[in-house]
Structure 1
Amino acid sequence: MLARRSVARLVVQPSPLGAPPQSARNMATLRELELRLKSVRNIEKITKSMKMIASTRLAKAQRAMQTGKQYGIANSEIFQNTQPEEAPTRKLFVVISSDKGLCGGIHSSVSKATRRSVKTGENGGSKDSPIVVVGDKSKAQLSRTLSSNLAITFNQIGRDIPTFADAAGVTDLIVKTGIKYDAIAIVYNKFVSALSYEHAVVEVPNEEVLKAAAGFNAYEMEDDVTKDLAEFSLANAIYAALIEGHACEISARRNAMDNAQKNASDMISSLQMKYNRGRQAAITNELVDIITGASAL
């Protein structure tokens, strides 16, 4: 008799103070999963929309890049005939990036190449090489370790498709600032395909190198002609780098949004499975409570 009373006392013993019942815990977990599913679905919609926009802009950017490459081809013919006899001792690095993110590691690519050139002497760089940065993203990355080397920074350039006026404005400010350099190295992203890119460096000679080149000494030219040619060649090279870097950025953003959309879809499938299992467990617990109560009556 005493044993039976003790068993009954154990059965009706209430839960510890402050501990929610099992059904309440299940409902809270289901509510959290439901809210998370809703937020992930919203993220999937956003990434899908951004992927579609980037896909539309990519075709336009590629057409502009093919036109802009003609400027770089014209420059390469000039640079082939103006090779300096001595290696430049002070290079000015012009880093081409943009102000926008959500495009993978495309900005880190040019930032790492510039940092490596300055610290290790790659591409003729040195620890006191001045740096000109186009775009806020690379500016933020380079300012952490090479803040003393930053001479000029630009933003709001190439928000849509870069124009020659943008490149001319960058060139004009570089010339007017009076930065001392022997050569200019433009660091930008080279378009390989719609799925890949790589950083590249183009060296542009300055006015003194053009004057000392054997190909130019064969002709009688005024000083203004050589100066204008040097500025125009720099603007051409910057424009070609800007427009090719823009195409790389749009392509990288499309790929990044595609990967983000796939990850969101996988996460939705996983969360939906957890939600269904939790809902089935809650229904099972409620059925057990009902059957137990009916049996007791």
Structure 2
Amino acid sequence: MAAITIDSLRKEYGDTVAVDGLSLSVDAGEVFGFLGPNGAGKSTTIDALLGHVRPTAGSVTVLGRDATTESRAVRESVGVLPDGYALYDRLTAREHVAMARSFRDADDDPDAVLARVGLADAADRRAGGFSTGMAQRLALGMALVDDPDVLVFDEPSAGLDPTGIADLRRIVAAAAERGATVFFSSHDLAQVEAVCDRVAIVDDGRLVAVDSVAGLRERAGALATLSVAADPLPDPASFLGIDGVRDAAVDGDRLLCRCVNAEAKVRALRAVFDSGVRVTDVDTDDASLEDLFAAALGDDDGDAVEAVPRGGSVATDGREPASPTAPEGVR
């Protein structure tokens, strides 16, 4: 079942088209990455999803509710960590969570919420003295109040240290395990790759690609390299008949096999061990999401990479202006 459905969404600001015909479907329980350069249409799409802007055409539904005509109900069912939120300097962390609890008519224990995001020891501190990372943790905790079925995270790792990022990953995984949907927009592509089931890449208001990271890698023809140090080195020619191995060669004291996917790497490595040589080191090098992102945006013909059946593709000109209804505060 789809938790979020975006159908032919179009948004115009005067003569500028920010989003034109965007179609996406995000399953319940899915962690979905939403990526694109600045001005690609991401913020406008998220604003439409939350009912903050009215589409020029098309529709957005969240948990079966129309985000335009039932915007209040949508916002009450969605936990949001916005980019560029503001906290109240004079309120303590506990008071912020209590405020979020009152908005949702929830009965969460504020101290338990703060413990989830690593702020148990700062419950009585005023937010005006928080570091950027602490403020981000507090905003995350407010989004988690009442365990909403849909979470929208916009740049959630901003300001977080490595411990905070690890906590964020744990929180996202726990949300998905209980069946919640996470819509995850970020420029930190390493974090997106670590947590997302699928990703969509948008540019100039259009969908460029949507698939799993592995699917994007395969569609782009981005080969993975298996590097093996062994004594003696096996004959590279013996690996050319292995399904999924594109080529093999010796480079110094290592055998290098370029493979189309992870399964081909496993087959090649198994062949190395079966040859009876003594393996001293194994390494792999896959195309990262950063590489795939750059490749998708560098598509000279402008055609969208074919989407998996749950998504869609659009084409448009024009860039997204600053949203006139950008969210203020934590909602």
TM norm. shorter chain > 0.5 = no
TM bracket, shorter-chain basis: under 0.3
Structure with the larger helix share? 1
Q: Which structure features the higher share of strand residues?
A: 2
Select the structure with the greater relative contact order (CA < 8 A; seq sep ≥ 6).
Answer: 1
What TM-score comes out, normalization by structure 1 length? 0.22
